[in-house]
Structures are given as structure tokens and as C-alpha cells.
Amino acid sequence: MIILSGPSGVGKTTLRRRVQKKIDPLSFSISWTTRPPRPGEKPDQDYHFVSPEQFEKQIRREGFLEWARVHNDYYGTPSKPVQTWLRQGRDVLLDIDVQGAGQVKRKMPEAVSIFILPPSREELKRRLARRRTESPQALRLRLRNAEKELADWPRFDYAVINADITDALKSLSAIIQAQRCRVR
């Protein structure tokens, strides 16, 4: 079980898509979210886009491995597919926010957690601003959260700096491949 996390805007989604293509077999857990799709995001491939009602029903059923409310939207990892894959002995990749990563790590201490770091605070701000898919208020909230999330990196098992995507991808692949040789 590999947990990929890091602040908003750091480039997690791009890295995750590339590592999925590079490393086989790797089962990717598709999160549920109540936020609307961003341009380029494919439903049921990047996220399952659901209504707040559907999400809250799943919470009551205890159907999430972790869930969180981030920037006024719900995000969660459904338990069922993950449990099935792990039983089958497959490698599972989670791409989740920093809060969620903490929850999963507490429940499954044997999971390997990787934090994607921006080359600098300033670069992270530039990347978030460039996104332009959100209102100015949403962006401000996201910036403030990103600052808080950044402080969490020392609690992760690995940290990868995403300055150059090719280098970051190499490091990420190495971490995943090394886990396959881990004793116990």
C-alpha cells in the first residue's frame, strides 16, 4: 500500500498518472469527491464525482478508509476496492490529501507514505494561481491550506521534490519498486 500525498498544486495528479503508466501492476484507488470535475478530469477514472447526499450516506455506512472535508468539499477513499486488492496481494496506490494520508497511516502503519514537495513555497503559489479553475476566494483558501499541509512532510516515510517531473517520477518509481523487495 502506497500513499501519495502533498499540498494542492504540487503536481500529484500528473505524477500519479505517469507512475501508473510506468509501473505495472499498480491498482489505483479512485477517490470519491463532491467537488465538480476540473477541466481534463475524467469521471470514474480520476475521481468518482458524487453528491453531498451520496457521500454522507457512505460515511454513515462506514464505507470509507478515510474521508475529509477539504476546502468545503468532501473527499474520501472507499474501503472495499482497497481491501479486495490487498487481499489479492496487489500493490495499491492512494492519491490523497495530507489529512487523509495521516488517517490511513494510523489505521495501516505498514503502508508507505510519500510526500510530494514543491521546489519552493513561491513555486507552489505560482502553480496554484496558474490553475485558474477556481474563484479568488477558493484559491485563497487553497493557498492557506497548502501552507498548513506543507508543514506535515516530516511525518511521512519518503519525500520527493517535484522540481523536474522526470526526476520526481524516477524517485517515485524507485520507492515503489524498492517496496517490492522489502522483507516483511
Q: Which is nearer to a copy of itself, 60 or 184 (CB)?
A: 184
State in angstroms the smallest separation of the CB of 182 from a copy of itself: 6
| Radius of gyration for the alpha carbons in the chain, expressed in angstroms and rounded | 16
- CA–CA distance, 178 with 171 (Å, rounded to integer): 10
Q: Which is nearer to a copy of itself, 133 or 177 (CB)?
A: 177
Residue entry with cell 494542492: 8
φ, ψ at 8 (rounded to 5°): -55, 140
Q: Which is nearer to a copy of itself, 5 or 34 (CB)?
A: 5
Question: Which residue in 70, 94, 98, 114 binds a copy of itself (CB under 8 A)?
Answer: 114
State in angstroms the smallest separation of the CB of 153 from a copy of itself: 7
Reported as type and span, the H/E element at residue 102 is: helix 98-107
15 binds a copy of itself (CB under 8 A): no
Question: Which residue in 60, 61, 87, 180 binds a copy of itself (CB under 8 A)?
Answer: 180
- CA–CA distance, 44 with 37 (Å, rounded to integer): 11
Q: Which is nearer to a copy of itself, 32 or 156 (CB)?
A: 156
Q: How many residues bind a copy of itself (CB under 8 A)?
A: 23
Question: Which residue in 13, 20, 79, 173 binds a copy of itself (CB under 8 A)?
Answer: 173
State which of positions 131-170 bind a copy of itself (CB under 8 A).
Answer: 153-160, 170
- CA–CA distance, 21 with 183 (Å, rounded to integer): 26
φ, ψ at 144 (rounded to 5°): -65, -40
CB count within 10 Å of CB 84 equals 12
Q: Residue 116: which of 20, 19, 31, 7 has the closest Cα?
A: 7
Q: Residue 30: which of 68, 70, 67, 76 has the closest Cα?
A: 76
Q: Which is nearer to a copy of itself, 46 or 91 (CB)?
A: 91
State in angstroms the smallest separation of the CB of 27 from a copy of itself: 19
Q: Which is nearer to a copy of itself, 79 or 179 (CB)?
A: 179
Catalog residues that contact a copy of itself under the rule CB under 8 A: 114-115, 153-160, 170-171, 173-175, 177-184
